[in-house]
A and B are shown apart, each in its own frame.
Chain A
Amino acid sequence: MSRTLEYTPGHWLALVRADRVLIVPGDTPPDTVRALWQALASAPGLEWVLQDLLGAHGMDLGRLCPFGMATLDPDPQVLLRGPMALRATSPAGDTEIDGSGVGTWTERRITSAHSLVLGPVPVPATGSGIWWPLREGIVLTGGVRAGQATSDAAPVPTIKTATEPVLAGEPVPFPQAARAAGDTVVPASYETEDASSHGLVEPVNPMEPRTAPDSAPGNVAAGDDTLLSAPKRPLGTLAAAAPTPPTPAAMADPDDLDTILGSAVLKVAAPAPAPVPMPVPSTPTPGLIESTPWTGPKPAAVAPAAASAAALQPPAALQPPVALQPPAAPEGDHDGDTLLRGSLPGRSGAPASASSTSSAGLDTGPLVISRTCAAGHANPPTALRCSRCPLVLEAEVGESARPPLGRMVLSDGQQIELDRSVIVGRQPHSPRASSASMPRMLQVRSPSGDISRSHVEVRLDGWHVLLVDLNSTNGTRLLRPGQAPRRLGTGESVMLFAGDTADLGDGVSLGFEDLP
């Protein structure tokens, strides 16, 4: 089954292929059109076509062009953006969907549509104007209409398929048969409008890198300020060597820089040729910044997880491609990295955060010293029997992923498994954290405002659960069976045991169960 198709001439580009219609602006670059033409045939769904279209706009939704796309099946799926609309006739009546006024795009599925017209607003009326038959191909159009689904056996005079896309700036190829039959008239070619020729800022299109105006060999690449350095490098090392008030000439000498940073990398960034006069800000002329090669850090000996990390990220060397070497064995030192990162004396190796996420098993916590049972359950090193099964623990103590450390039960009945730290408050926010150490945020109601925004943290530390006051205004009371209630001082932390309750005020309390 397919629908009979017709189009009315206009200035938009309609791509019709594989029972899909896509309409984009007439000035869409040829490469983009070609990619979309392929996508229409190969994409599993319109979303994929959309993604290619987004990709052509640097994945920037704000820059995405207006478009309309629809499938031609009995229940057409429709995606519209900008001044593009679809009018459909279905048993439920006529509907018109408009993409205007939506920052992203409008998506809809129409059940059993008899016929539809897709085109720029206002959608052309089917009863007027010229309508040419169409089966597949790329046409300049003001709208495409699809009739009721019919059997392919019923022949309609159509333009035969052009198998390759018609591209901007090229003559529009038409099958000889169609041309001879004289059943259509289409402009032979059209101009591509280039936004940049209008004095606009060229849109960033990362997929089509612009060439630097001055790209003669020997010239350095466009100013590339940002440099990657080793973490925790002693400041003296480079600061002493840094050229003081730098001049373009001084900075252009790559040998100096190589000596300074010990790396033969990216000869970057002479200042742009003939900089325009402009207001000079109150900052000194940038020094090294404008021209230093970029050196990277090298974690020397990292965590036990280094092997898997290395597998995921083979040693990457910042050096001329010619000099690329096969990755060295993870345990050895290798020259490839030396050029990039290992060249600075006296640097400390390990990066600040060595995240350790466990890979297998149910336990998802960080690695902790533990004693495991024969079934693999991790327990505190001091435990004698497994807390989760009747097995006796092995004598050996090792590292394994930490299981949840019990439960926290709120006064409203909500239960939270303690597999991560939790920050509790009226509107808590987290401190800086890695993905593995990010605590949960638990908001609790505080009608009278007794509870601070970030009030208290239930912190998991090794096999311990701590209650940490976060400088709350009204404090937290710890209720422990058999003991007098006790108020935590500002910033104080205490170790929690099963059966403890923390009272935050305003009727909110946290009970702790099954702690190790």
Chain B
Amino acid sequence: MSASQAGGRGFTLRHGSLTDRGLRRALNEDALLALDPVFAVADGMGGHEAGEVASAVCIKTLTAAVLEARGTGVPLDPEALQKLMHLADAAIRDAAQSRAGTTLSGAALVNEQGVPYWLVFNVGDSRTYLLHQGELSQVSIDHSEVQEMVEAGQITAEQAIVHPRRNIITRALGTGEDNEADFWLVPVNSGDRMLICSDGLTGEVRDEHIAEVLRRIKDPQAAAQELVEAALRSGGRDNITVVLVDVLAAEPEAGAEDTFPRHLNTTGRPRMTPEGASA
């Protein structure tokens, strides 16, 4: 009927990623996953190391499932991802005795009626953006108090950016409650760029500036680095994590039958040196 097993995708993915502790925090409680076909950012919260544990457990749960899905060839779908998040939720509560939680946002490449789609998912206030034909749009919608205020018409989006309660989120994984994710299906187009980031980026760098960087710097790793640096320059008050995924028109097949999908970045990538960090 429909749902052809997408053997050759007709495009390739290329990604870059970077996480930084920032300038104010003693710990980096963010974690990320960049493992084709799933890309995600988790921003842990909770005292001491609990937040770190929460985000790490979340990402670890996802990773195991991605590797398994790659092994069995069973594609991910919203229900499978939602189950995974419930699993992660339980695992985090187990690991952190409910003293911690984590956000999770990201995108998974799925097969929708035989056509590749980005399945964007979100719990909390990390974000997934899409740069399509040079236009940046926020795909995920925060689970946060200020977002609810914006939707209720009580404050404007501009006011939300500086609102004192902007860091209060309404859903998270690991707390046992209100952990349902929202999902979006977004078409995959060559030339598109997905940005997944923690609020350490969006809290410091305005969307217009982010869009400018994403348009200007073609290499995903270099662009990720520039975004992190921009967040550090404007204060770096939180952990900053950026994952960028580019959809590129297919190259001629390079006989990569027994090689996992090819992306050309990551090995030996540069690391940030936050001068002036209070170390």
Contacts and interface: CB of A to CB of B under 8 A. Distances in A.
Nearest to B265: A103
A267 B179 CA distance: 23
A223 B273 CA distance: 20
Interface centre among B26, B177, B183, B274 (most CB of A within 10 A): B177
B9 interface: no
Contact of A103 (B31, B46, B264): B264
B23 interface: yes
A200 B169 contact: no
Interface stretch (A149-157, A204-212, A507-515): A204-212
A335 interface: no
A231 B234 CA distance: 30
B170 A230 contact: yes
A209 B53 contact: yes
B1 A414 contact: yes
Interface residues of A, number: 116
Contacts of B185: 428-430, 438, 441
A312 B86 contact: yes
A361 interface: no
B125 A226 contact: yes
A367 interface: no
B21 A47 contact: no
Among A50, A207, A286, A416, the most chain B Cβ lie within 10 Å of the Cβ of A286
Contacts of B176: 313-316
Contacts of A206: 31, 52-53, 55-57, 59-60
A488 to B, nearest CB: 23
Contacts of A210: 26-28, 52
Nearest to A357: B79
Interface string B54-80: 011101101110010001000000110
A205 B21 CA distance: 11
A199 B27 contact: no
A316 B224 CA distance: 37
Interface in A317-354: 317-318, 321, 324, 340-341, 351, 353
Given A273-B278, A315-B176, A279 B56 contact: no
B272 A201 contact: yes
A31 B117 CA distance: 40
A414 B2 CA distance: 7
B60 A226 contact: no
A183 interface: no
Nearest to A214: B26
Contacts of B249: none
B234 A281 contact: yes
B218 interface: no
A239 interface: yes
Q: Which 5 A-B pairs have the closest CB atoms?
A: A206-B56, A316-B176, A103-B263, A435-B82, A287-B164
Interface of A: 47, 50-51, 54-55, 58-62, 66, 81-82, 100-109, 195, 199-204, 206-207, 209-215, 220-233, 235, 238-239, 242, 266-268, 271-276, 278-281, 283-284, 286-289, 292, 294, 296-299, 312-318, 321, 324, 340-341, 351, 353, 355, 357, 414-416, 427-436, 438, 440-443, 453
